[in-house]
């Protein structure tokens, strides 16, 4: 059986990685094995200079892998579709995806300022919103209160979607678990 997949979306520097790190600590404490897939439109360098794998990749290897009793890393010189990465991680309990805004999976959208509400309205599959900072009072005015608010949305079956503050990691983790259980 495939694990549930949830996306954490938002604009650059919206707090996606920080939230995922907090959720990982909670899920690890519950013995839930979580795989994380991160999208980087700007390119990245994942191998450290002066290591053997870096030297081999620099010498022209199309793919390198290194493994030890505790860890495995694979670097391939091509983009891998999200579906391929999800398939690779099918043995985990949950897959959290950072980014890939246009993919069709359920999304938790990070909102830092009122202008970010546009993203939540534009994306499909939004199941919750996460507010960070003081610039998001408009999210509350859109239909919720400061505590466990609900933001109005035509897409949600009950007319609204849950909204959390970014510092409510325990509540967000609980929502994710309940959401995943309903979807099975």
Banded pLDDT at 16 (limits 50, 70, 90) = very high
| Contacts for 153-159: CB closer than 8 Å, 24+ residues apart | 153/120, 153/121, 153/126, 155/124, 155/126, 156/127
Angle at 128 between CA 126 and CA 134, to 5 degrees: 120
Q: What is the pLDDT of residue 86?
A: 95
- Domain 5-42+81-182: assigned CATH number: 3.40.50.300
Domain boundaries, the chain: 5-42+81-182
Q: What is the pLDDT of residue 41?
A: 57
Angle at 98 between CA 69 and CA 137, to 5 degrees: 140
Q: What is the pLDDT of residues 32-52, one digit of tens each?
A: 999 999 876 555 566 778 888
């Amino acid at each position: 059986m495939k694990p549930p997949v949830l996306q954490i979306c938002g604009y650059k520097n919206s707090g996606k990685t920080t939230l995922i790190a907090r959720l990982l600590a909670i899920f690890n404490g519950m013995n839930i094995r979580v795989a994380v897939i991160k999208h980087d439109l700007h390119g990245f360098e994942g191998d450290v200079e002066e290591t053997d794998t870096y030297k081999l990749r620099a010498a022209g290897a199309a793919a390198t892998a290194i493994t030890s009793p505790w860890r495995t890393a694979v670097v391939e010189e091509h983009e891998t579709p999200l579906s391929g990465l999800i398939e690779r991680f099918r043995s985990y309990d949950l897959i959290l995806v950072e980014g890939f805004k246009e993919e069709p999976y359920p999304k938790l959208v990070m909102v830092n300022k009122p202008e970010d509400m546009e993203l939540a309205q534009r994306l499909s599959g939004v199941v919750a919103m996460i507010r960070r900072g003081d610039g998001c009072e408009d999210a509350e005015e859109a239909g919720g209160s400061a505590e466990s608010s609900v933001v109005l949305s035509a897409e949600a079956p009950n007319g609204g979607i849950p909204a959390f503050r970014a510092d409510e990691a325990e509540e967000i983790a609980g929502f994710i678990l309940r959401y995943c259980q309903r979807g099975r």
